[in-house]
Amino acid sequence: MFNQATILITGGTGSFGHTFIPMLLARYDPKKVIIFSRDEMKQWEMAKKFHDDPRVRFFIGDVRDRDRLYRALDGVDYVVHAAATKIVPTAEYNPFECVKTNVMGAMNLVDACIDKGVKKLVALSTDKASSPVNLYGATKLTSDKLFVAGNHYASHTHTRFAVVRYGNVMGSRGSVIPFFMSLRDKGVLPITDERMTRFMISLEEGVELVWHAFEDMEGGEIYVKKIPSMKVTDLARVVAPGAKHEIVGIRPGEKLHEQMISAEDSYCTYEYAEHFKILPQINFWDKDANRIKDGKKVVEGFIYSSDNNSEWMSDSELKHWLDAHKNIGNF
């Protein structure tokens, strides 16, 4: 699919982009990969890693800027939407800015992709978009709905939109593992709540889910990968075996457990070997055989959350991952 194609990734200088782009270049032979983001210093630093690859291009811009998106999408075949204001406390204290990026930015992308003839877009979502309790989650749920509905607006064109949703990304900037790693030598780790659990997915697994969505999508699907859970206290114990735990309380807008599929979603959710798929109810697309494929309908009331998960990451599995990634820049 991506051979000799032009791919643009919004927010491409983030943790996902740093994993997605090398994997893309290694597996496929794209004509061009465009990193679209607003931070010139991050682009400058990232460009050093790809200075000898003419396929990699950098484009300063913001998803809030509709006109700039139209220019950036000239000749683009596929888009990965990774740009977002995503730190929960930041969104709580700066709600207008979060809405501008996560909601208005999504609206701009839907319009620009349709008008510029983009073939497919896959947007990155979050567990916080399922039954949201904070502003970040509410804006990402809105963003998900916008991309799903974008397929209705694009019905007279070849442009299609889909979403991938996953929880805590191991090693991504701002996530719990690098945070604990940065504090382990101090001997004390702050724990918000001893009961807290989190889903665990690697950046590489996130990239694979995006690729699967591009290959499988008809338009409007939300893909949720099956991944293991882990208690935050166990995670802290593995990262820093000798450190004490200090209970500090849940931050504003933070959830005790991550949830990726709600009971309300269960009415239109199908299960597959390695993932779930939430189908849109508009236009009766949740009954469409081309979207369902070989999926099995989940039971009514099914909830996929990190505390009721059937799969849990062991200490040895986490230690193996930490050993394999101990030298990456995020740590």
Residues that are catalytic: 128
Looking at the DSSP assignment, which residues form a beta bridge with residue 270? 277, 297
**Rounded distance, CA 321 to CA 136, Å?**
28
E strands, 125-216, are 160-165, 169-170, 188-191, 197-199, 201-202
Whether 82 and 18 have beta carbons less than 8 Å apart is answered as no
- DSSP per residue over 244-282, as a string? EEEE--PPTT--SS-EEE-TTGGGGEEE-SSEEEEPP-G
Tracing tokens 């969104």 back to the chain, one arrives at 91
- Closest by CA position to 84, among listed 99, 73, 95: 99
- Cα–Cα dist 34/302, whole Å: 39
